[in-house]
Amino acid sequence: MLKNSAMGSLWICHFFLFLAMLSAAFVTTLGDDNASDSYSNWLLSIKSQLVDPLGALNNWSPMVPICSWNGLTCSLDHTHIIGLNLSGSGISGSIPIELTHLTSLQTLDLSSNSLNGSIPSEFGLLQNLRTLQLFSNYLSGPIPAEIGNLMKLQVLRIGDNFLTGEITPSIGNLSELEVLGLSYCHFNGSIPIEIGKLKNLVSLDLQMNSLGGLIPTEIQGCEKLQNFAASNNLLEGDVPSSMGSLASLQILNLANNSLSGTIPSSLSHLSNLQYLNFLGNKLSGEVPSELNSLSQLQKLDLSTNNLSGPINLVNSKLRSLQTLVLSDNSFTGNIPANFCFKGSILQQLFLARNKLSGRFPMELLNCSSIQQLDLSDNSFEGQLPTTLDQLENLTDLLLNNNSFMGSLPSEIGNISTLESLFLFHNMFTGKIPDEIGRLQRLKVIYLYDNQMSGPIPRELTNCTSLREIDFFGNHFSGPIPDTIGKLKDLVLLQLRQNDLWGPIPPSMGYCKSLQLLALADNKLSGSIPPTFSYLSELTLITLYNNSFQGPLPESLSLLKNLRIINFSHNKFTGSILPLTGSNSLNALDLTNNSFSGPIPSSLAMSRNLSRLRLAHNHLTGSIPSELGDLTELNFLDLSFNNLTGEVTPRLSKCTKIEHFLLSNNRLSGNMPSWLGSLQELGELDLSFNDFHGKVPSELGNCSKLLKLSLHHNNLSGEIPQEIGNLTSLNVLNLQSNNFSGLIPSTIQQCKKLYELRLSENLFTGEIPVELGELRELQVILDLGKNLLSGEIPSSLGNLMKLERLNLSFNNLHGQVPPSLGKLTSLHVVNISNNHLEGQIPSTFSEFPLNSFMKNDHLCGPPLVLCSESKGQDEVELSNKEVAAIIVAIVFTSTVICLVLLYIMARIWCNWRKVAISSAEGGTGDKKTRNGEYWNMNSFGFIPSPDKQSSESPTCIFNPKIDADAMENSLV
């Protein structure tokens, strides 16, 4: 019985033990009802606060066991939630506070979502957290100091957010922390020295913030640190030599900061270092040769610093080195002779933009593993070695911007792996070797800015992988290969500025991937092939400065992606309509052709058009009003055409326009007042048209105007006073109009004027003295052919930069101011056809005579000397006196002669009476008067010696007859 009793008791014990185990199992599965309900309520509350467009939380439902809910991880006994991972679930909203009730959480991962708001300080209650990942969200605000309470935390990654403020020093309390990721935020301040307390820290990522100050030397306390990345911050000062004690360090990235000083040689102690990046700092001095001991180093980037001296790094010691970047420094000399070794694994060598010199470094040919070699922007010279093909793995060769010369070695065609060949801006000559056609992988060949010549080889078109060809600025001649169409992948073809001739091959239309085509500045001719309609990807085409002719094929209207077209300086004819098929045009330049017909209104469909240049053609009709819809227009040049009518007011909507050129047309009407609303206007040229009326005062609102040309129109009235508001004006040309009134004194406010032309108008009044304030006037001051009066203001002597001065054909008087003689820059002067007087400045003596002609009394070289001029004036005064005397003498003599003639006439008459009386009254009687005898001979009448007896006597005046005898004869 006792035995049975014992057996029964044992059975009962086992039974109760079974019940206890069953109960425990039941409790483990379901948990405490209250606890389960609490978890459920908290989680459902969390769900209700989140936006879940992808349905990541759809199975968070009371109908589903909690441990099966998406993202949740329960403990092994299913009594606690120890993990929540909703990474990349697309959820948004703020982080719910209810998460802090999940005190058993060990892992919380909400990364790569769209969460916003701040990190709750209540997270400090999650004492069991080992991993907290909130990176790649939109969180903002500072790191809560309570994070420092998570003593078990091993991983903290909260980067790639909008977090701000300083890094809380409480992070130093996280003694178990192994990974700290704070990159890609907006943290400022400095790196807290408490970081040095994190003895277990393996990875520290602080990249892409605004951290400044020094790198704390305390970082040497992170003895297990393998990855330290603090690139793209504002760190300054020296690189701490104490970092050389971080023996476990494998990655050190301090790129793009403001670190200065030299590279500490103590870094050579980092025997495990694989990646070292100091790109973009202010480090100086030489690279310590001790770095050659970093045998594990794979990638070294010291570019964009102020490092100098020779290159001390030797690849034969850095046996693990794969990438060496030393670009953008001031290294000198050449590459060390022992730089490379057989069996090297160096793949990338970038030495661009230094001061390296000498010939091509032959040492590099031993590094046959090199794939990318960049020696660009140095001072290397000489020819390329014919053994260049030893670099059998080369994919990218960049030798541009050096002084290499000679021809390209044909052996370059043996480097079958070559994909990119950059040889531009050197002094290479000769032709492209035909062997280039072997490079089946070649994608890019840039030979521009060299002196190469010869034809473009047909073999080049065998490189069917080519995407970019740039031969700009050489002397290539001959035609474009007619097999160019084989390059189906060609995107860029730049052949500008060569000596190519002949037509465009029709096969070019089969380069259907072509986007940029530049054939300008050659001697190409013919018409555009109709096959161009196949170039549906074309965005830019420039054909300017060639001899293309004929009408444009209508099929060009199918090119819907064209953005930039420049066909200027050719001989194209016909309509420009085929070029308006694209609604994406940004620039259209057809200057200097023979296009005719109207301007197509369909141009207005290209709403992004900023440059429209149609000058020097034969376009007719009016300016389409639809052009006013081109609100992005910056440059409009329609000059030198046959356009008529008025300027459409809809152009006032083109408020971004800077260059407005309509000269040399037949446009008419008033000058539009709405021009004053074009606030960005920098150049306005309406010259050589038929505009009339006044210049609108609103033009004074164009404060950015640099050039105003209104010459050769029929404008009238006064220049508005508002012209003085154009304080940026460089050129003002109003000549050959009908302007009248005074020259406004406000023009002195245009202090930047260097060219002022107001000639051939009707301006009156005096020359404003204020013009002397325009001290930047240089090209010309032209006031000729007006009605100006008064004296030349001496203030013009302030225009010390002036080269040409024209004041001719006015009514100026007075003297030439001596101050003008100080204008040493003058090389043309014209003050002719005025009323000026006095001496001209001696410095004007070298100007031609016609510069001063037709004035009243100007003197001095090149005119007569002023002393001679004075002498001439005195001679003229004496002559007047002499003339008066002569007149008096002549008058007196005339009177005397008349008296004498009268006397002689009376004597002759008396004689005739005596002669008649003798003939009639006999020969012997003598008559007396008053008892006197008349003695005929006494009056000087003497018979002619040869005819004394037979002819009448001759009357001879004897001046010796005394006065008494004359007086007696009158009695």
Domains held by the chain: number: 2
Structure tokens at 90: 């697309």
Please give the pLDDT value at position 881.
Answer: 55
Please give the pLDDT value at position 868.
Answer: 62
In one letter, which amino acid is 515? Q
Contact indicator for 941, 953 with CB cutoff of 8 Å = yes
How far apart are alpha carbons 211 and 166 in whole angstroms? 8
Which sign does the torsion angle of CA 281, 285, 286, 290 carry? negative
Residue 505 forms part of a structural domain: no
Task: State the greatest distance between any 2 C-alpha atoms of the chain, in Å, as a whole number.
Answer: 246
Which residues, in sequence order, are CB contacts of 482 under 8 Å at separation 6+? 505, 507
Strands across the sheet with 282-285, in order?
212-213, 234-237, 258-261, 282-285, 306-309, 330-333, 355-359, 379-382, 403-406, 427-428
In the listed set 827, 859, 891, which residue is the last one of a domain according to the structure? 859
Q: DSSP string spanning 341-395?
A: -TT----EEE--SSEEEEE--GGGGG-TT--EEE--SSEEEEPPPGGGGG-TT--
How far apart are alpha carbons 458 and 63 in whole angstroms? 76
How far apart are alpha carbons 546 and 481 in whole angstroms? 18
Which value, to the nearest 10 degrees, does the dihedral of the CA atoms of residues 892, 896, 902, 904 take?
Answer: -160
CATH code for position 100: 3.80.10.10
Residue 566 forms part of a structural domain: no
Please give the pLDDT value at position 341.
Answer: 78
C-beta neighbour count of 888 within 10 angstroms: 10
Please give the pLDDT value at position 909.
Answer: 60
How far apart are alpha carbons 828 and 804 in whole angstroms? 5
Which sign does the torsion angle of CA 231, 237, 238, 240 carry? negative
Helix (H) / strand (E) element for 475: namely: strand 475-478
Residue 45 forms part of a structural domain: yes
Please give the pLDDT value at position 886.
Answer: 62
Residue 210 forms part of a structural domain: no
The owner of tokens 């045009």 is 585
How far apart are alpha carbons 480 and 500 in whole angstroms? 7
Q: DSSP string spanning 589-604?
A: E--SSEEEEEPPGGGG
Residue 867 forms part of a structural domain: no
Residue 650: closest CA among 683, 677, 669, 670: 677
Residue 425: closest CA among 359, 472, 389: 472
* CA 964 to mean position of chain CA atoms: 114
Beta strand residue intervals within 599-681, DSSP E: 611-613, 618-621, 635-637, 642-645, 659-661, 666-670
Contact indicator for 582, 563 with CB cutoff of 8 Å = yes
Could you tell me the end-to-end alpha-carbon distance of the chain, in angstroms, rounded to an integer?
Answer: 229
In one letter, which amino acid is 664? N
Running DSSP on this structure, what letter comes out for residue 38?
A: H
Residue 679 forms part of a structural domain: yes
Q: Is 17 exposed, middle or buried (0-12, 13-18, 19+ CB in 10 A)?
A: exposed
Residue 527 forms part of a structural domain: no
Which residues, in sequence order, are CB contacts of 621 under 8 Å at separation 6+? 597, 598, 599, 643, 644, 645
Identify any residues that bridge with 857 across adjacent strands, giving them in sequence order: 837
In the listed set 171, 203, 235, which residue is the last one of a domain according to the structure? 203
In the listed set 156, 184, 203, which residue is the last one of a domain according to the structure? 203
Contact indicator for 667, 638 with CB cutoff of 8 Å = no
Consecutive 10-residue averages of pLDDT for the chain (971 residues)? 40 40 35 62 93 94 92 92 96 95 95 96 95 97 96 97 97 97 97 96 98 96 97 97 95 98 96 97 96 94 97 84 97 89 89 96 92 97 96 97 97 97 98 96 98 97 97 98 97 98 97 98 97 96 97 95 97 96 96 97 95 98 96 97 96 96 97 95 98 96 96 97 96 98 96 97 96 96 97 96 97 95 94 94 91 90 74 48 60 72 67 43 34 30 34 35 34 27
Residue 807 forms part of a structural domain: yes
Contact indicator for 328, 353 with CB cutoff of 8 Å = yes
Task: Determine the structural domain holding residue 138 and report its residue range.
Answer: 40-203
Residue 255: closest CA among 298, 216, 300: 300
The reported pTM is: 0.77
Contact indicator for 49, 75 with CB cutoff of 8 Å = no
